[in-house]
Amino acid sequence: MRKTPIDPDIVVRKIAESGLKSVGNASIREIVKLVSQIEQASGEKFIRMEMGVPGLDCPEIGVNAEIEALKKGVASQYPNMEGLPELKQETSRFIKNFVNIDIKPLGCIPTVGSMQGSMAAIMVANKCNPKKNKTLFIDPGFPVQKLQCKVFGVGIETFDVYNFRGSKLREKLESYFSKGDISSVIYSNPNNPSWVCFTEDELKIIGELATKYDVIIIEDLAYFGMDFRLQIGKPGVAPFQPSVANYTKNYILLISSSKVFSYAGQRLGMIAISDNLFSREFPELEPFFSSSDFGHAIIFGALYALSAGTSHSAQYALAAMFKAASDGKFLFTEGVKPYGKRAEIMKKLFLDNGFYLVYDKDDGKPLADGFYFTINYPGYTGIQLLEELLYYGIGSIALSITGSKREGLRACVSQFHPEQASLLKERLEIFRENHPI
């Protein structure tokens, strides 16, 4: 009988108890729950790579501003639907300083995490024109954004970007856009889960086609500034966070505080709508959102219906962090560089033990070490590998749930601590012994 680091009886039992039809196809949160239950039953700590959670402390600047706001009594007052004026102002300034794009404070609106931002964007973008009722995902991507389309009854198109990098992207996008039913495009950049980053040429292609076909680009900047090959983070100084906003007026940026500010717990993101799109009129919006004005429909239609605003005190936290970053007093990208180091260590251990990288290049250049990387093992599908690694005390998610057409797993580095390196090494060596290539 093969030896595994986790008692196989416990793994089998907990999988059965989970009621999941297929562990490999489970959602991220379901895997998180399963891994926690196996940890508890076995008494063994896992190498947890399944969930993209911050693994660093949150900045004191944010926490202190939030505590101060609470002491002033903001908890009793509904936040205004458009957002706290200073947060709107500081978001606009942050975007100018670190993306080099002008967006008026009016179009910068707080949301309950970027999750709510994408929900609102999907809801409104797909009602602007009755012929355009589908969102195209440049995959792989964050599975919950597809769940959002599903629960809201929006059609989905998707392709895996791996085989359509560089100039091939134009033809591929045009094949969808030319059908006339695509309202919007979603992608994250840097990409979750593959950590692929679009080149400027690719962003230009996306922007040009968005203008040509009047499609709204929902650019998810969940990992703002975290392509560590660039040195983003000096206010007003290049390099800036790359963005499609340089190439079209049809865009919405989603800026999360969860990863780059390690502020996931308070569920606060910003949706930033281009000035042009914010004030555009779409008569078809009126019956759904009581307004034909895009910005008004987002705020007083979608966001009002979804939750009537977001935590009042957390808005002060984010305003303070944006302000400190713009003032040059808070080097936010420096704070998350430990993730790059963790990725380097982890990737090496996997590669040393027979695994290989699934997404490995940006149009020819090696990917950065960042928040995620993707791996597989010869002879395995991602779904099989995910389940098998549970017996070795390693949690992950399958690329198949992210819209990837390639087999493998997403590994998130955030909860890995360098002192766990020897444990990971030991477990991967046993895995390799049990699975000779």
Residues that bind a second copy (CB under 8 A): 27, 29-30, 51, 53-54, 56-58, 62-63, 66-67, 70-71, 73-79, 81, 111-113, 115-116, 119, 123, 144, 147-148, 150-153, 258, 262-267, 287-290, 300-302, 304-314, 317
Least distance between a second copy and beta carbon 36 (Å): 9
Task: Report, in Å, the least distance between residue 69 CB and a second copy.
Answer: 9
As to burial, measured by CB atoms within 10 angstroms (0-12 exposed, 13-18 middle, 19+ buried), residue 181 is middle
Question: What is the nearest approach in angstroms of a second copy to the Cβ of residue 228?
Answer: 20
* Residue 403 token pair: 């819209």
Nearest distance, CB of residue 148 and a second copy, angstroms: 5
Torsion of CA 344, 348, 349, 354, to 10 degrees: 140
Least distance from a second copy to the Cβ atom of residue 133, Å: 12
Q: Write down the least CB distance from residue 351 to a second copy, Å.
A: 29
Q: Of 102 and 334, which has the nearer Cβ to a second copy?
A: 334
Nearer residue to a second copy within complex by CB, 99 or 317: 317
Q: Toward a second copy, which CB reaches closer, 65 or 245?
A: 65
DSSP letter for 234, please: S
Shortest Å distance, C-beta 75 to a second copy: 4
Close Cβ partners of 334 (under 8 Å, ≥ 6 residues apart): 233
Task: Evaluate whether 368 touches 341 at the Cβ level (below 8 Å).
Answer: no
Q: Using CB atoms within 10 Å of the CB of residue 404, give its burial: 0 to 12 exposed, 13 to 18 middle, 19+ buried.
A: buried
Q: How crowded is the C-beta side of 428, counted as CA atoms within 13 Å? A: 22
User: Contacts by 378-385 with C-beta closer than 8 Å and gap 24+?
Assistant: 378/354, 378/437, 379/435, 379/437, 380/407, 381/24, 381/407, 382/24, 382/407, 382/408, 382/409, 383/22, 383/23, 383/24, 383/25, 384/24, 385/409
* Residue 121 vs 161, nearer CB to a second copy: 121
Give the residue ranges of DSSP H helices in 126-186: 143-151, 168-177
CB of 411 to a second copy, least distance (A): 18
- Please report, for residues 118, 199, 303, the alpha-carbon distance to residue 227 in angstroms, rounded to integers and kept in the order given: 22, 12, 30
Is the Cβ of residue 245 or residue 298 nearer to a second copy in the bound state? Answer: 298
What is the rounded distance in angstroms from the CA atom of residue 56 to the CA atom of residue 259? 9
Q: Which residue in 88, 67, 74 sits closest to 323, CA to CA?
A: 88
Runs of H (alpha helix) within 5-59: 8-18, 28-42
Closest to a second copy by CB, 74 vs 324, is 74
| Closer Cβ to a second copy, 97 or 311, answer by number | 311
Give min distance, CB of 360 to a second copy, in A.
29
What is the C-alpha to C-alpha distance for residues 68 and 335, in angstroms, rounded to an integer?
23
Cβ proximity to a second copy: between 349 and 399 the closer is 399
What 8-state DSSP symbol labels residue 185?
E
Alpha-carbon distance 22 to 354, whole Å?
Answer: 25
Amino acid at position 307, single letter: S
Shortest CB 19 distance to a second copy, Å: 8
In the complex, minimum distance from the CB of residue 117 to a second copy, in angstroms, rounded to a whole number: 9
Residue among 197, 194, 195 at smallest CA distance from 406: 194
In the complex with a second copy, the residue whose CB is nearer, 58 or 173, is 58
If the CB atoms of residues 308 and 331 are measured against a second copy, the closer one turns out to be 308
> In terms of Cα–Cα distance, which of 416, 400, 336 is closest to 370?
336
What phi and psi values does residue 141 have, to the nearest 5 degrees? -160, 180
Q: Which is nearer to a second copy, 78 or 378 (CB)?
A: 78
